[in-house]
Structure 1
């Protein structure tokens, strides 16, 4: 054992001595032949590159490539022929080490096994005249081709590689911390084993749009093959680490200047999406950076085309997302899963630009603000003016819509909803001509508050159908208070108008109720509670909800109402048919008809919203109504002079009244004005206080407690709280009289009554109700006036004071 060690040590010493002798010999040779060697190397460079070059120094190096000896070249500069014009140095390096074989200096082929470059810089430059300093790297086509020789290993450290073509807006800049290239020659190809660790300062194919992989680290070990027969450079499934993200690349590039086609496939199975976005050029990064993902995704990119100026390659991208959380300018999507595809040649043969590109999302599922939704296929074409086609389905709690929409008109208290629609149309802008939506939204057991009018609809069940641009409502059932409603309707051109002018949208509703209780709708007389909401411009859902709010608050609603029964307090109506138009500040009543008091009524009018009260105009026609029922239903119209207990008969009338009502539907008497033309048939007065007092004062022998009178026709003028009674003849079974004057709800009665003297001479049953004898003979005038104590007083009125008072009221 000791002998083996001794021999080994001796051998090692001998080897070291031989190396030292060789090194000393080479050092001495270089020292005494430095100038000649530099000249030969410079001439060789000039011969190969046809470029001007300088070498600062030449020396021998033992330790850089130990145990091999190398030549060390210092301060090398290589310039092309037009360097003075563009001032771009083709190549420079602080040091180049040429590793030699033992007889390398004496071998004709020099025997260089490895080239090490430190602090080097290679700058490939082209200008607008198509001048290109890359000619330095090209071989002389006229020289006889040499047999392939061994390829020296190349190592670059702390060096830079620059490709610059300002006229074509290209700029590539790489800082090579370390680059090792080990090449071998085969029969028809060269194989290069490459190991690199670099910084990509810039990878710009269009400097105006920015750089790919800007300031990103790239490292990896891979193999590249150049096939001299096929003139192809290729690599297969090489692994690269880009900004600490793993990528696999496969590609093939033609090195034939006549062909110049290429294929490049890039894939990553576990890619950080946010870091991938930072690898894109500036113009793309600005568009995509607002979108972030929490979990990695799988990406496959296929690029093919020609490496020619302005040639746009075909790009296909696929991305798989599973159970991810995506943050967007419009909000955060959770539980996202889908497959995304991009293609920049939708129509084969057309330019590969944005207008001919397609973005697809397949089997998309996610949850947005507690609402889950799904889509089998989402297509976005023409990325210059994006056009969307997609299906959308979801089952959700309606209460989730409150946060999603931020609606100021609708608040969902409970219920469930389902949506299944297909949409097509522009994503942005106001071009809704080509937009359409088809499908349905259904709601079940919903409770919804209509906030502007404080109306709550409960037990809502129904279907909203979308037919292209129209919205149809089918079999919508709801309850408000004690009123059950069954509705259907439509909004024509809903989609277009909602986008352009939602306030001009018209909703048409058909409403049926088994029994309509008007008390449940009193809140429509209140001043609208209009709320405002700040909506972010990038929140498309809330922006759309805002348009729907504007439709509800400012649009017109046309209602056709039918109900067999309607009531309000003591009022009951039957067989009600009405057309009602709701505008932003009015309730317009059109063609309203109903049965009441054994007769019928037709009316139209308008209720206009005010600050503290609502202005009302009514034009009504009463046809043969039973007076006691009518008076009872309307609370004797707010007066106590003639009540439903005093007056009987059948009334027909035409009423034209302007007034104001409170938010509780109470008439403000001072606001009233208008006229009432009436006809009373088969009239009967019972226990009417003024006649009973006249009987006690004037006709003491006659009983006026119950009298029948002939058809009574006249006009009442309404001014505030006063009813102005024009002169009218009353022919009753008890007497004939003429009355005119004022009845004021607040001040009481001031009537002038004229009695023909013959009333005193005739019996109660002797007056003909039908006869109309114009000449009634001498008359007696009395005044029925409410005194300061509130009691009706009867006095003689020979000077017609009550008539003059009436005329003064008419004048005012």
Structure 2
């Protein structure tokens, strides 16, 4: 072995032996002077203590502190001076290991280099008056200590806490922090400014309640990671440098500052997660915030940063400020599902400085919000929600879309859009009930162009539809409407007073006021409004992302529409009217017509009426005044009013009538035979009965030399009473160019016809030169009078037979 190596080994061995001898000597010294050292340690620990520190026992643990000296303190307890009042010890520890600088011991001083605390509880208690058991660390008002006895404060270089419960119970400030610390260890350096510590932390957060009335943040989550902590003695500031800590399975960047020089201590905590799921983030907040946030969800992770600023006094909730960034995500909310959503968001519970950190002073702002709901893209410049006690939302909503996408929102079983474009720009302000918009105040425009839409429950279809909705706060103005259904084209404008309030609270009370004009309307294309309404599809058939259209459906079905109508041409089956005006009321009960006036068949028609639904039936009532219309065209237009004979082909003249008639019609607008009741008063001027077979068949035998092909009437008037299939012809006198007759009885559209005719055979032409009306009346029934009865034949047609006068009188 080389000489230098041999000498090196000898020196090294000598040093080892020396250290062992010294260590044994120190161990013997500690063991021999155990009681004195315990007194010294108690004295050192009680320096500047306003209370008491007690150590139940002390045992040397040589190997733990080698080459220093270690002792294990058993049953350590720190109490403040008022412990007997509140009974909360600041610290209780079953095992308190202290490592002491061996060389300092030889000099007669105590320098604590390491503390290890196991199976302990640290309880920082503050009562309702603000008194805290941490006052145990305040200096006593004691006599000055001699300089010979004074020593520098003990410096703890390393520390370990295992299975330690840490509790901060602030009854005045309603704060409760409770940590089950599994590991809290590190080392401490002491620069001139204060101290620095590198810490390893693993703890279960049982409670982090800044306001116990609101509940705990980060409840029952494991907090784990490393922390760099600095204390500035001059500023009285403890700073936790931002570092990565895991809360549960999610990494956070957490930093904090505690101004312990302030009374009460002020703190600022910064928490940042660069990628975290919405529900994971909301679960870390207080229940009053979590309950609201859980009404929403985002499918993909988001970036979020929160700053919690407050104090340990009785100031209530801390200030909370949160920034969030969301990109290309999917939002689920009480109002529906928004796809491809992106925005930057801010939350604060200090919206107005000085109003307190409360729900009422909380606000959310969403910037550059974009997304699509049911494939309809939209943007919101700035969405703003404030006052979480009674939330109010504001913002400006913009969208351009294909209107066929509206089927995804309202459902194609209500309004079925097949084409067209829509655009909207709306500024809204609305209350929020369960975070859904309620009673909004809206200003702005919605325009729809070139749209095809069907109102499915009524089977009414519109093409090339255009509309502009002008929202003016509570009211809605409806402009530039163009509706086309088949060959009908209608231009409309209207308004709904107090629209938004009623839409959300009582849509059945909405009254729509319309002004309508049209070059031509085919009423048959709108018969769906008087037919039976189709039921909507069941909830099971609805798409998952479809929002409720209940209010819209309720408004369309039960709301009322007052329409003031001007139409150039009105078509209804064979009927044609011109220059029509009308006041129409549409309601869930039916259609009501007032002040209807139009020109028809060379004359005029005025009417009032209604069509209502009674069960499966459509009941109509109509009062009409018809003046100077062509009776031929009038009967043609209404399919002879159900009469089999005579028909419009047999009639000529100018017709005047007043009717009061009711009955039932089908969903297609056809009168149900036998359903009519009412009365008809008529007057036919310059009338004629042309080529009427029933008269010709009788007349060719009775009046072979008279012109029965064209029977003219100067004035023909009478009254008919209609009861179902039977029409009662009140006794009336007919004076014609061929013959005169008296007629009365019952005409039936089914079986039951029984009409009596008294026909004088005297030729009326013989009296043409007589001008005295009285004489004409006297001569009218002179001569032979034929009595004819019209009754049902076996073939279902009307048969005429002669009857004797006495038989006729018996029939009467």
Q: CA separation in 2, counterparts of 1:761 and 1:20?
A: 161
- Aligned twin of 1:638: 642
In the alignment, which of 574, 593, 606 is matched to residue 602 of structure 1?
606
- 2:719 alignment counterpart: 715
**In 1: Cα distance, 2:668 partner to 2:55 partner:** 104
1:344–1:358 contact (8 Å) kept in structure 2: yes
Report matched runs for 1:566-645 at 5 Å: 566-645=570-649
Contact 2:88 2:123 in 1 (8 A): yes
Q: Where does 1:513-592 land on structure 2 (aligned, <5 Å)? A: 513-531=518-536, 542-543=547-548, 545-592=549-596
Residue of structure 1 in register with 2:747 after alignment? 743
CA distance in structure 1 between the aligned counterparts of 2:7 and 2:329, rounded to whole angstroms:
68
Is this contact kept in 1: 2:730–2:745, CA < 8 A?
yes
Write the distance in 2 (CA, Å) between the matches of 1:183 and 1:410: 73
Residue 519 of structure 2 aligns to a residue in which SS?
coil
Counterpart position of 1:31: 31
C-alpha separation between the residues in 2 aligned to 1:45 and 1:264? 32
Matches within 5 A, 1:158-307: 158=162, 159-166=164-171, 168-258=173-263, 260-307=265-312
Match in the other structure for 1:773 = 776
Distance change >3 Å, CA 678–CA 165, structure 1 → 2:
same
Indicate the larger mover: 611-620 or 386-395.
611-620
Partner of 2:109: 109
The alpha carbon displacement at 1:775 in A equals 2.0
Taking the aligned partners of 2:705 and 2:805, their CA distance within structure 1 comes to 23
- Does the CA-based 8 Å contact 2:524-2:668 persist in structure 1? no
- Alpha-carbon spacing, 1:201–1:431, altered in 2? closer, same or farther (3 Å): closer
Equivalent in 352, 355, 359 of residue 357 of structure 2: 352
1:157 aligns with 2:161: yes
The residue aligned with 1:390 is 395
Q: Distance in 2 between matches of 1:631 and 1:650?
A: 12
What's the counterpart of residue 665 of structure 2?
661
* Residues 741, 803 of structure 1: 8 Å contact kept: no
How far apart are 1:609 and its partner, in Å? 1.2
Distance 1:748 1:154, change over 3 A: same
Distance 1:342 1:631, change over 3 A: same
Q: Does 1:323 align with 2:296?
A: no
Structure 2 Cα separation of the partners of residues 100 and 453 of structure 1: 93
**182-191 or 563-572, larger mean C-alpha shift:** 182-191
Instruction: Quote the residue 1:809 is aligned against.
Output: none
- Structure 1 contact 783–802 (Cα < 8 Å) conserved: no
Asked whether 1:422 is paired with 2:458, we answer no
Q: Which residue of 2 aligns with 1:684?
A: 688
Q: Deviations over 1:412-462 (max 9, x none)?
A: 233332222111121229999984101122223322221221112222232
| TM, length-normalised to structure 2 | 0.90
CA distance in 2, matches of 1:433, 1:328: 15
Deviation at 1:406, TM superposition (A): 4.2
Pair 102,419 (structure 1): closer, same or farther in 2 beyond 3 Å = same
The separation in 2 between residues aligned to 1:23 and 1:147, in whole angstroms, is 25
User: Which of 788, 806, 810 is 1:799 aligned to?
Assistant: 806
Residue range with higher mean Cα deviation, 328-337 or 579-588 = 328-337
1:329 shift after superposition: 4.3
Gaps of 5+ in 1: 806-812
1:598-625 per-residue CA deviation (whole Å, 9 max, x = no partner) reads 1111111111113343211110111101
TM-superposed deviation, 1:20: 1.8
Q: Are the counterparts in 2 of residues 337 and 366 from structure 1 also a CA contact under 8 Å?
A: yes
Contact 1:377 1:391 survives alignment (8 Å) = yes
Structure 2 vs 1, CA of residues 182 and 792 (structure 1 numbering), >3 Å: closer, same or farther?
same
CA RMSD after TM alignment: 3.2
Taking the aligned partners of 1:787 and 1:297, their CA distance within structure 2 comes to 88
- Secondary structure (helix, strand or coil) at the match of 2:64 reads coil
Q: Secondary structure at the match of 1:775?
A: helix
Q: Could you tell me how far apart the structure 2 residues matched to 1:416 and 1:327 are?
A: 26
Instruction: Report the count of equivalent residues.
Output: 801
CA positional deviation for 1:385? 0.6
Contact kept in structure 2, 1:697 and 1:794, CA below 8 Å: no
Aligned counterpart for 2:789 among listed residues 774, 780, 784: 784
Distance 2:3 2:215 in 1: 70
Q: Distance in 1 between matches of 2:350 and 2:442?
A: 27
Cα deviation for residue 361 of structure 1 reads 0.6
Partner of 1:377: 382
CA distance in 2, matches of 1:307, 1:162: 13
SS at structure 1 position matched to 2:217: coil
Cα distance in structure 1, aligned partners of 2:772 and 2:327? 95
Q: Compare 159-168 and 649-658 and name the one that shifted more.
A: 159-168
Q: Secondary structure at the match of 2:582?
A: strand
Residue 445 of structure 1: aligned partner: 450
Q: 1 CA distance for matches of 2:464 and 2:775?
A: 63
Q: Offset at 1:121?
A: 2.3
Is the aligned partner of 1:730 residue 2:697? no
Secondary structure class of the residue paired with 1:22: helix
Render the CA deviation track for 1:484-537: whole Å, top value 9, x for unaligned. 33332222211011112100101223333332222212333321123375599x
Secondary structure of the residue aligned to 1:119 is strand
Kindly provide the CA deviation profile for residues 376-430 of structure 1, in whole angstroms up to 9, marking residues without a partner as x: 1011122211111111112233333333334753232333322221111212299
8 A contact 1:717–1:724 mirrored in 2: yes
User: What is the rounded CA distance, in whole Å, between the counterparts of 2:378 and 2:629 in structure 1?
Assistant: 59
Could you tell me how far 1:747 is from its partner in structure 2?
3.3
Runs of 4+ in 1 over 6 A off after TM superposition: 429-434, 767-772
> What runs of 5+ residues in structure 2 fail to find an aligned partner?
none
Distance (Å, rounded) in 2 between the aligned partners of 1:21 and 1:490: 105
Task: Specify the alignment match of 2:514 in structure 1.
Answer: 509
Q: Which moved more, 1:606-615 or 1:548-557?
A: 606-615
Q: Distance in 2 between matches of 1:188 and 1:522?
A: 91
Out of 460, 484, 494, the position equivalent to 2:465 is 460
What is the distance in 2 between the residues matched to 1:344 and 1:122? 32
1:691, CA displacement in angstroms? 3.8
Q: Summarize deviations over 1:683-715 as a string: whole Å, max 9, x none.
A: 122233454355345445544332322212221
